[in-house]
Structure 1
Amino acid sequence: MASDVDICNSALNMIGASNIISLTEDSRAARVCNQRYAFVRDAVFRAHPWNCLVTRTSLAADSDTPAFEFDYQHTLPAAPYCLRVLRPQDPDTVFRVEGRKIISSTTPFKMIYIARVTDPAEYDLLLIEAIAARLAADISYALVNSASLSQMLLAVYDSKLSEARFVDATEGTPDNVVNIDRASYSESDILISARF
């Protein structure tokens, strides 16, 4: 099973740097990975509605209410942390995300969201590959001072991300694809963008 260090070492291997034993060891590679890993991971998480990160919840209304337009506000989940709201249970529900709040005229607010899952053992293998490639592109200049390598690794990331999105988007029944469509993704957009 993969660990955070394994993902970082995959990224380091892509740029020709030495492996690390831990993110807290006293080496330049470990310090750079430790600084950038969580940010890069979360950015890749937000890039697609990954099946392995999808979480469902029902939010109770806060005691405070919006000043106008909507009747209720709900605090976004912190356990697991909500990185991106995909859709409410009822596709006709009108809502807005404002900071760490959802405002709507419906309560409780039942929704599907992308969670910050911190255990890499829960990640799809292709998602791990995408995170490693994005991390390699992100840290390569800091470690080897090569803009051309950074650009090449961004292209590798784009390729790995497309493959991972395609495979992820084609799992499940057609109803799941329709639900993704209602979360502002059309099936054709997912499949077309996944190929590029």
Structure 2
Amino acid sequence: MASDISICSNALLMLGAHPINSFNENTDHARMCSNIWPSVRDDLLRNHPWNCAVSRVSLAPSTTPPAFGYANQFPIPSDCLRILSVGAEGYEIHYQVEGKYILANTNVVALRYIKRIDEGSWDAALIHVAEMTMAAKLAYGVTASASLSAGKADEAVYALRQAKATDGQEEPPEELGGYPTFESRF
């Protein structure tokens, strides 16, 4: 099972460095990993609607309504990295995101979003991308080689492209319909 430490350790091993056992170790590599990892993790999860990180929730309105413009405001979950849709499929609602709230003229909001999940729940392809991305981010600091850093960055981009393609193939095909111009042609 993957963890933040195993992902960072594998990235260090790719660079010929010793793995770490904790972010709290008194080593340069542990400090670099602890500084870089949170932003790499959140950026990777936000970058694509990974099936393993998609979550759904029904939100109840806050007890305090917005000052004007909408009837209710709904607190966005604290683990939300990216909103994918608001409202049930086919019944999207007009809404506005302001701060940590979704404003809407409805009593309940169905939210589909990217959730910050534990690395142990990640897909194997996403773990590989995380390892490759961390290796690219750490490469120059660990090896002082600009060419190795550039090579690892290219490998990370390729791994991300492959992982997105694989992840996207697990979804059902999108059906076209409901568009008057599309339907008029047939």
* Range of TM-score over shorter length: 0.7 to 0.9
Query: What's the offset of the Cα at 1:163?
Result: 0.8
Alpha carbons of structure 1 residues 28 and 67: separation in structure 2 relative to 1, 3 Å: same
Q: Report deviation, 1:55.
A: 0.8
| Greater mean alpha carbon deviation, residues 14-23 or residues 157-166 | 14-23
Q: Extract unaligned runs of 5+ from structure 1.
A: 179-196
Which of the two has higher C-alpha Rg? 2
Change in 2 beyond 3 A, CA 1:14/1:98: farther
Residue 152 of structure 1 is matched in structure 2 by 151
- Residues 68, 151 of structure 1: alpha-carbon distance in 2 compared, 3 angstrom cutoff: farther
Number of the residue aligned with 2:140:
141
2:97 aligned with 1:82: no
Structure 1 residue runs of 4 or more that deviate by more than 6 Å after TM superposition: none
Shift of 1:63: 2.2
For structure 2, the 5+ residue unaligned runs are 176-186
State the TM-score, normalized to the length of structure 1.
0.81
Length-normalised TM-score, structure 2: 0.85
Which deviations, in whole Å up to 9, do the C-alpha atoms of 1:25-46 show, x marking residues without a partner?
2211111111111211111000
Whole-angstrom distance in 1 between the partners of 2:134 and 2:43:
10
One-letter code aligned to 1:159: Y
Give distance in 2, aligned partners of 1:101 and 1:49. 21
Call closer, same or farther: CA 1:109–1:19 in 2, change over 3 Å. same
- 2:182 — aligned with what? none
Q: Which residue of structure 2 aligns with residue 187 of structure 1? A: none
**Aligned to 2:131, what secondary structure does the other structure show?**
helix
- 1:28-76, Cα deviation, whole Å (9 max, x unpaired): 1111111111211111000000100111101111122333332221111
Letter aligned with residue 10 of structure 1: N
Report deviation, 1:141. Answer: 2.4
| Alignment: residue pair count | 173
Query: Counterpart in 1 of 2:35?
Result: 35
Please show how residues 2-151 of structure 1 align to structure 2 within 5 Å: 2-78=2-78, 81-90=79-88, 91-118=91-118, 120-151=119-150
